[in-house]
Structure 1
Amino acid sequence: MSGPITIRNLTAQPLTIKVVERYEAPNPKDLPEGEQRRGSLTSFTKSFANMTTNLVSNVTGGDSQAPTKAQLSEKAQSFARQDVDVRMEPFTTHKTDIQTTERKPDEILRLTVHGDGPGKWRIDTPTPSAGSHKLTPLVPDPAHEYTGVYNASNSFLAIVESTDQHNWMKEFGDDTPLSALSIPGTHNSPTYHKALPSVRCQAVSPLEQLKNGVRFFDIRVQPGNPQDPKDDSLNLVHGVFPISLTGSKKFRGLLDEILDFLKENPSETLIMSLKREGPGDATDQQLSLILKDLYTDDAKWYTEPRVPKLGEVRGRIVLLRRFALADRLKQEWGGRGWCLNAENWAYNTPDCTYGDVRVQDFCEVLETENIDKKIQLCCDHFERAGQVVCPIPGVTTDSVNPVPTGPLYINFLSASNFWKVGCWPDKIAAKLNPAVAAFLCEKHDVGDKGVDAPGEMVEGDGGVGIVVTDWVGKDGDWDLIKTIVAMNSRLLLRQRGRGWR
């Protein structure tokens, strides 16, 4: 018999385990032909298989091989059934006394979970398919949808709320500062084309990223003709290289896709980080004037040098500048400048506050052994972001004691070494993304409490800030992006007036 199951409720609703059932493992022959064994696991399964007590030292990134579990049929008969009453408040972790197995190591444990209302769901562990798995609703039209992520290595189940990834921001109040939200982002967002391996950072197009919840784009451009003030051509680049081997790609085309998406999804916003890179003699100042005079307008862009509230920027692009301003633009907004300021944070930094941002951007992973250090720095920055408290009018802030709306916490999961194959963006992401996903589900915002003191959490809203990723969406795997969005649940709970404190 194995040990008891530990469950973490990462949703904004109380959940109660009401029924525990046990089943013999289905015969593998019951699987459809061709699916009796999967060649590889998705990032969540890899992450949990690699994760033990010491997260960082045990992340190896190896390609685990494991059979896919046969799913129980609707007519399956349990050999044991027990009524229980294990209540799990939002954002609490419970080390239960429910043993994962009783007779054989491959049996199936089924949990039936009730909400405070009419909602009822079930989940089988181990889950029948690799990666995250949706809980099965047992009542028609449930008010919530939940997803479970199971780590068989330490019998840990995390339950998160499923969201509409294409318009997840609609759930949050207009008074929500962007700095309070957990926002998935991508690094060098348009670099999904055929390119040099160290140049390509993304598996899918920016439009697919938007549809699946990404709300921060990191974009690098080089003016095509900076001497002509009427020439709006901006080439998309990564360092000194174009982002595609098949011809230059233009910023204007990418921008049109973004604006079309925001028009169709007016509840959403996109934070766009823009930086000048690439060959040529253009200056930051020239780039700033091209953007100001030929691209931005108040209806589609937010350019005030102040962290905005969500209601101010729905349907618009928030411009975060990583470039210096021309003198004329320094006089914008009553002399406060133009756009959110991220002009010059420290290079290769584990933690730097500059302008409107606080950033982790340790990027020089020169050897594969340094990936572990990068993972730890990412997790450290998650914990800093988790301490942020969203100002809610009448609850946490007033005119006398305002809570600041910034800075934006930005956490780059990206890193690379051009000269080492094992440190190209896709290789690092294959190790780092699953480790981060596992940390967020199991470790983030627990501190010294959690299992040892259920219901007693560290201070803050438990968010993670802006998380800038590489190679998400590969083979349809969006688990990391979904998990980042799920980290907004405690903030959502407070905004719904149910109060955490």
Structure 2
Amino acid sequence: MVNYKNWLGEIDNNTEISKLSIPGTHNSAACHTALPSVQCQGKSVTSQLEHGVRFLDIRVGKLFIGDNVKDLQVIHGKFPVKIPFPEKLTDTLEEVYKFLQNNQSESVIVSIKQEGSNDWDNANDEFGKLIWDKYISPNKDKWYLNIDIPKIGDSRGKAILFRRFGVNDENLKSQFGFDAHFWDYNTTDDDRGSFAVQDFCEVQNKNDLPKKADYVKNFISKAKDYANDDKFFVNFTSGSNFFDKDCWPEPCAEYFLKEAKVQEVFGKGSGVVVLDYAEADDWKLTKALIDTNF
């Protein structure tokens, strides 16, 4: 019987995390009261971690518009994930830190991406330096910040930064986590060398869902067939159309669980599979992914 709360504790220290089957959540902190098209999860980040999720997808934007950016809020596209009061990035990260403090055998891959307003001075690393100065540097003991793919034994008790934003400063870049700042939009298979991604997200209507499911399944098969240890496979099951409620996160998640039966292709080394409503049917897909590691 797998202990889903501490399942990484049962994995050998010398195993690269890229060789595992890892359940992730899409817009992980979009679990609060929000617009129905914005919410992507039905349980908190803490609950996700306690049930075995080990990849968190966090999108952030400015909380205070203007020059005095004191904090960042978690958003989905351009919309807050929590109303009427914002969910601050600080609070989401505290959930991760607390879980890891209480579960030292575990690691959590934390993907951070800038969304929302486009008025950042990226040429001078404004966003990256804010993330570093306010969130990472004061908590460096809580993070695995090397640029490589870690082994389990090297990252226990740590949050592994999966950096989805660019950094120009070479000195900062060398100590700022795994660089995943770019892949092609709406890609079915983009291989960037150190990682590969399936993120086909333009689901126009429910008739596109079988096509999306095929992309997910094919990418899982590719991850399973890859023999080396030096590549992350990140596979998003999410896809949506703001203007069609049949394509909002919850019905899409239900399709993957009940009709696409994506769990039938899960196997050892499936890579990171990123889910909406990961708790559905008593965490069925989350548990099924974890089980393949054993």
Match of 2:179 in 1: 341
Residue 244 of structure 2 is aligned to residue 405 of structure 1: no
Distance in structure 2 (CA, Å) of the matches to 1:444 and 1:320: 23
Query: Is the CA contact 1:222–1:282 (under 8 Å) kept in the aligned structure 2?
Result: no
Identify the match of residue 263 of structure 2 among 437, 440, 444. Answer: 440
Aligned residues: 289
1:286 and 2:126 are equivalent in the alignment: yes
After superposition, the Cα gap between the structure-2 partners of 1:236 and 1:439, relative to the gap in structure 1 and judged at 3 Å, is closer
State the distance in 1 between where 2:262 and 2:118 align. Answer: 42
Task: Supply the distance in 2 between the matched residues of 1:377 and 1:339 (Cα, whole angstroms).
Answer: 28
2:32 aligns to what? 193
After TM superposition, the structure 1 = structure 2 runs for residues 29-178 of structure 1, keeping only pairs within 5 Å, are 162-178=1-17
Partners of 2:51 and 2:162 lie apart in 1 by: 22
**Counterpart among 74, 98, 118 of residue 260 in structure 1:** 98
How big is the alpha-carbon RMSD for the aligned residues of Structure 1 and Structure 2? Answer: 1.9
TM-superposition CA deviations, 1:444-495 (whole Å, max 9, x none): 56xxxxxxxxxxxxxxxx3210010001214x62111000001112xxxxxx
Instruction: Please report how far the alpha carbon of residue 434 of structure 1 lies from its aligned counterpart in structure 2 after TM superposition.
Output: 3.1
Q: Which amino acid in 1 is paired with 2:37?
A: S
Could you tell me which amino acid in structure 1 is paired with residue 52 of structure 2? G
Quick one: distance in 2 between partners of 1:421 and 1:233?
32
Q: Which amino acid aligns with 2:86?
A: S
The code of the aligned residue for 1:480 comes to L
Partner amino acid, structure 2, of 1:464: S
- State the distance in 2 between where 1:355 and 1:342 align: 10
Aligned pair in 2 of structure 1 residues 174, 376: CA closer, same or farther (>3 Å)? same
Q: How does 1:457-496 map to 2 (within 5 A)?
A: 462-474=268-280, 477-489=282-294
Aligned partner letter, 1:473: E
Give the number of the structure whose residues are more often helix, by fraction. Answer: 2
The letter of the residue matching 1:331 is N
Does structure 1 conserve the Cα–Cα contact (< 8 Å) formed by 2:26 and 2:56?
A: yes
Distance 2:129 2:211 in 1: 39
The change in CA–CA distance for 1:444 and 1:247 in structure 2 (over 3 A counts) is closer
TM, length-normalised to structure 2: 0.92
Letter in 1 for 2:244: K
Among candidates 345, 353, 366, match of residue 204 of structure 2: 366
Flag the 1:244–1:439 CA change in 2: closer, same or farther, 3 A.
Answer: closer
- SS at 2:57 equivalent: strand
- Structure 2 residue runs of 5 or longer lacking an equivalent are none
Q: Quick one: higher RCO (CA 8 Å, sep 6+), 1 or 2?
A: 2
Specify which of 272, 292, 298 is matched with residue 140 of structure 2: 298
Among 242, 254, 258, the residue aligned to 1:430: 254
8 Å contact kept, 1:321–1:342:
yes
Shift of 1:305: 1.2
Within 2, Cα distance between the matches of 1:377 and 1:323?
25
State the shift of 1:286 in Å. Answer: 1.6
Supply the distance in 2 between the matched residues of 1:405 and 1:289 (Cα, whole angstroms): 31
Matches within 5 A, 1:8-23: none
What's 2:153 paired with? 311
Deviation sequence 1:51-106 (CA, Å, 0-9, x none): xxxxxxxxxxxxxxxxxxxxxxxxxxxxxxxxxxxxxxxxxxxxxxxxxxxxxxxx
Q: Which has the higher strand share?
A: 1
In structure 1, the gaps of 5 or more residues are 1-161, 390-403, 446-461, 490-501
Identity %: 36
Q: Deviations over 1:107-143 (max 9, x none)?
A: xxxxxxxxxxxxxxxxxxxxxxxxxxxxxxxxxxxxx
Partner in structure 2 of residue 401 of structure 1? none
Which amino acid counterpart does residue 413 of structure 1 have in structure 2?
T
Deviations 1:278-305 (A, max 9, x none): 1362345222111212222431111111
Residue deviations 1:217-269 (CA, integer Å, cap 9, x gap): 000011335745xx551111111111122221101011111101001000000
C-alpha contact 1:342 1:355 (8 A) present in aligned 2: no
Q: Quick one: structure 1 residues 265 and 444, their matched pair in 2 at CA, closer, same or farther if it must change by over 3 Å?
A: closer
Q: Which amino acid aligns with 1:195?
A: A
In 1: Cα distance, 2:89 partner to 2:37 partner: 21
Retained in 2: the 8 A contact 1:300–1:315?
Answer: yes
What is the alpha-carbon distance in structure 1 between the residues aligned to residue 293 and residue 214 of structure 2?
22
Contact in 2 for aligned 1:222/1:280 (Cα 8 Å): no
* Residues 288 and 425 (structure 1), Cα distance of their counterparts in 2 relative to 1, 3 Å cut: same
Query: What SS does the corresponding residue of 1:349 show, helix, strand or coil?
Result: coil
Question: 1:421 Cα shift?
Answer: 1.1
Q: Give how far 1:339 is off.
A: 1.6
Instruction: Give the match for residue 194 of structure 2.
Output: 356
How far apart, CA to CA, are the structure 1 residues paired with 2:270 and 2:112?
22
Q: Secondary structure at the match of 1:252?
A: helix
Compare 287-296 and 277-286 and name the one that shifted more. 277-286
TM-score (ref. length: structure 1): 0.55
Distance 2:121 2:231 in 1: 27
CA distance in 2, matches of 1:406, 1:295: 28
Report what 1:94 is aligned to: none
Query: In the alignment, which residue of structure 2 is the partner of 1:27?
Result: none
Aligned to 1:234: 72
